[in-house]
Amino acid sequence: MSLACLRDYELRAHSVLPKNALDYYKSGAGEEFSLQLNRDAFNRLRLQPRVLRDVSCRDVSTTVLGCRVTLPVGIAPTAMQRMAHPEGECATARAAGAMGTVFTLSTLSTSSLEQVAAAAPDTLKWFQLYIYKDRKVTQQLVQRAEKAGFKALVLTVDAPVFGIRNADVRNKFSLPPHLALANFTDSTTTHVNQTESGSGINEYVNNLFDQSISWEDVKWLKSITRLPLVLKGILTAEDAIIGANMGAAAIQVSNHGGRQLDGAPAPIEALPEIVRAVGDRCEVYLDGGVRQGTDVFKALALGASMVFLGRPAIWGLAVEGEKGVVDVLTLIKREFNHALALAGCTCIADIKPNMVVHESRYSRL
């Protein structure tokens, strides 16, 4: 059967991934309310297309942090991608480059900064960062990212601890023994080991991540690099304003794929207030729940300048490596281009906020 949409890739990936890896990638925190909400919130938004407009010539390219990309969809950081395919992050980075868009490498990757830089030299690459208890570990990662040609740092701000992910607890999740966290050399930071009490990834985070991080650490990070800083994991206008005041280049509205605080809003729900608060001062991105081109359209209409995909790229990677990721991005791009035409738009600038409304507008009829 041909793979016609993202759901087809997801189902195929579910059939080929080992249970330990599949459950890690697909699960959310707690009862997975926020995980489901990420999709439900998009489905509660209605599109209001305009008609009888000449849409024969369309352009879906945009600019992100001063760099031109061919579509407003990038790759979000996702850990340990060699569990999905032997080439892991290197394959995903090459796919992003082939599509002319952004790839974000996770700190907890199974391919190192240097490996990804060598494998995808022409890809626009960003590096996602966690702050470790040992600040030298974090500072060295920043220096290596700069040296390897990464163009931005994406600081995850919503993970002083990891959410309780029941699937990982049940599976006693650990990184397969033939893999390691490739950005490190010390055994305490390279391995996610099986534990008797539950998830190995949560034990790793609890042992090494700094739970005391604060806005002062954002100041510190800005003081040690000239790279633009994206703050990922913000869901309130209040925090977005603090971030903008500290000079963040962008705010990435995200609930960590529903994997942190169960009960937190979907990013698409939080997006409008954050755009109102800081959209004239820095770029605003969104990740979480984006599964088709109309989702991209909705996010852009509500003020996002870029959206990022996490799990969808993993499904493509698991199915057919680099080609699978290219195919998934091509699907999303085609669907977005189609949505643009049917909504009466020729470019991203034509997408207006009044083209998206909540379903409650129609429930009153």
Q: Stretch 72-83: mean pLDDT, rounded?
A: 98
Q: Annotate 146-213 with three-state secondary structure.
A: HHCCCCCEEEECCCCCCCCCHHHHHHCCCCCCCCCCCCCCCHHHHCCCCCCCCCHHHHHHHHHECCCC
Least confident of 141-150, 196-205, 253-262, 283-292: 196-205
Confidence of residue 348 (pLDDT cuts 50, 70, 90): very high
| Average model confidence (pLDDT) across the chain | 95
Three-state DSSP at 72 gives: coil
Least confident of 164-173, 200-209, 241-250, 282-291: 200-209
User: For residue 194, is pLDDT > 70?
Assistant: no
> Beta-carbon neighbour count of residue 334 at 10 Å?
13
Catalytic residues: 256
- Class for the domain spanning 6-45+73-335: alpha beta
For 210, list phi and psi in degrees, rounded to 5.
-95, 110
**pLDDT at position 365:** 58
CB 173 within 8 A of CB 24: yes
Contact partners, residue 259, CB within 8 Å, separation at least 6:
27, 28, 29, 35, 162, 163, 165
Q: Which residue has the higher pLDDT, 2 or 228?
A: 228
What are the Cα distances from residue 290, in Å, to 39, 55, 308, 312, 323? 7, 24, 8, 8, 20
With pLDDT > 70 as the criterion, what percentage of the chain qualifies?
96
User: Is residue 124 a contact partner of residue 101, using CB atoms and an 8 Å limit?
Assistant: yes
Residue that the structure tokens 């023994």 belong to: 177
Query: Would you state the pLDDT for residue 191?
Result: 66
Mean per-residue pLDDT, 254-277: 98
**Residue 30: Cβ within 10 Å count:** 17
pLDDT at 71: 98
Cβ atoms of residues 91 and 325 within 8 Å: yes
| pLDDT above 70: residue 250 | yes
pTM comes to: 0.96
What is d(CA 17, CA 15) in angstroms, rounded to the nearest whole number? 6
